[in-house]
Amino acid sequence: MDGPAGTASRVIIDPAIETVTHLVIEPKHWLGVGRLVPLDLVDTTEGGLSLRCTVVEDLPPADRAGHHQFRVVVVARVKCVPGELLTITSLNTRGIPLTGSQLAERYAAIGDGFDAGDADVVCCQEVFTYWHLRLLVRRMRSFRQVSYWRAPFGPAGGLVTFSRRPVSGTAYRRFGRPPRAPGVPRRSRFQAWLKGALVTRLARPELCVINTHPVANYDGDWSEANRFYPLHRAQFAVLARVVNEAGPRAVVCGDFNLARESNLFGEFTAATGLADAFAGACPPTFRAEYLPPGAAPHCIDFILTAAEVKADSAGLVFAEKKEPLGYVSDHIGLRAQLSLTPRQ
């Protein structure tokens, strides 16, 4: 900037994505025409805002900028907040056995619930086919950004991330060929081959959202002696590399198929520095009603945050039955409000 630019008098909101896109900066003492400033050129500073441009040369006049298609909100003054806020949810969407599961009706209830909610980002697992995907997209119309990686029959790994915030990029990282694991069924080895992590980068705020769903452990035993342990150890090693490559502004969500109290979960969080949004207090997320008699339920779904992301609050979604359907999934969904450390 060449000097004090003036006063932020209005914000411009794109109603399609419910996101602030511009500020209107009025010159000091209200002399001259206000200028329309894209949010990408605005930085927060201690006690105010700064612009990465020259007002006169680089910015269009606010009254000729064509923002009649957007919603204008008049503000008395702009207050700086300590960090950017974002609400994220995660749910394994299918779960319940197909026979008599009322899958289309359950997906409609899930989509309607998210569309009526306040989440900015929704991470879904077990969206296995494009039919499943269409069911959700039709109900979640306020989520204009739908991220997934194309595979022959449906989203790769059954992973889809919906966002009300702008998305700058999407990638899919396969976990790779599963190692030898005596006693593991061929079906599980095939499923393990298809598993991976969906990496979605948000443009505003700058955040890497990692959606994942490692292979299922049908034994409920996460010790090193268990037959599924080699598969999980290999997959979480790859996931740890993905997380560390993402940097300090990242959040990892999904059905981990790994108990919170297992040694492997502790090793994974130690290797990545991720923090549990629930601080270890999340109840079991796989419903006891769908376990074999005598089996204990565990917390196997997580929202984990990296160094520059803090969970201000956390809670459950779709925890209760939705009549006449009953439970919409055999998993309970998770929700967290996140604050991001401001970038200097």
Tens-place pLDDT, residues 121-130: 999 999 999 9
User: Looking at residue 333, what is its pLDDT?
Assistant: 97
Give the type of residue at 61: P
User: Looking at residue 42, what is its pLDDT?
Assistant: 73
242 near 173, Cβ under 8 Å?
yes
> Residue 95 — very low, low, confident or very high, per pLDDT cuts 50/70/90?
low
Q: State mean pLDDT over 294-305.
A: 95
Which residue, among 317, 311, 312, has the nearest Cα to 285 in the 3D structure?
317
> Residue 83 — very low, low, confident or very high, per pLDDT cuts 50/70/90?
low
Q: Is the pLDDT of residue 205 over 60?
A: yes
Q: State mean pLDDT over 193-201.
A: 97
Residue 3 buriedness (CB in 10 A; 0-12 / 13-18 / 19+): exposed
Q: Is the pLDDT of residue 72 over 60?
A: no
User: Looking at residue 10, what is its pLDDT?
Assistant: 62
Q: Is the pLDDT of residue 247 over 70?
A: yes
User: Looking at residue 160, what is its pLDDT?
Assistant: 98
Angle at 21 between CA 17 and CA 25, to 5 degrees: 155
The reported pTM is: 0.77
Enter the tokens of residue 319: 């925890």
- Least confident residue range of 47-56, 96-105, 109-118, 190-199: 47-56
Percent of the chain residues past pLDDT 70, beyond the cut: 75
Both ends of the chain: CA-CA distance in Å? 16
Beta bridge partners of 167: 202
User: Looking at residue 344, what is its pLDDT?
Assistant: 67
Residue 111 buriedness (CB in 10 A; 0-12 / 13-18 / 19+): buried
Q: Count the residues in the chain.
A: 344
161 near 201, Cβ under 8 Å?
no
φ and ψ at residue 102, rounded to 5 degrees: 50, 55
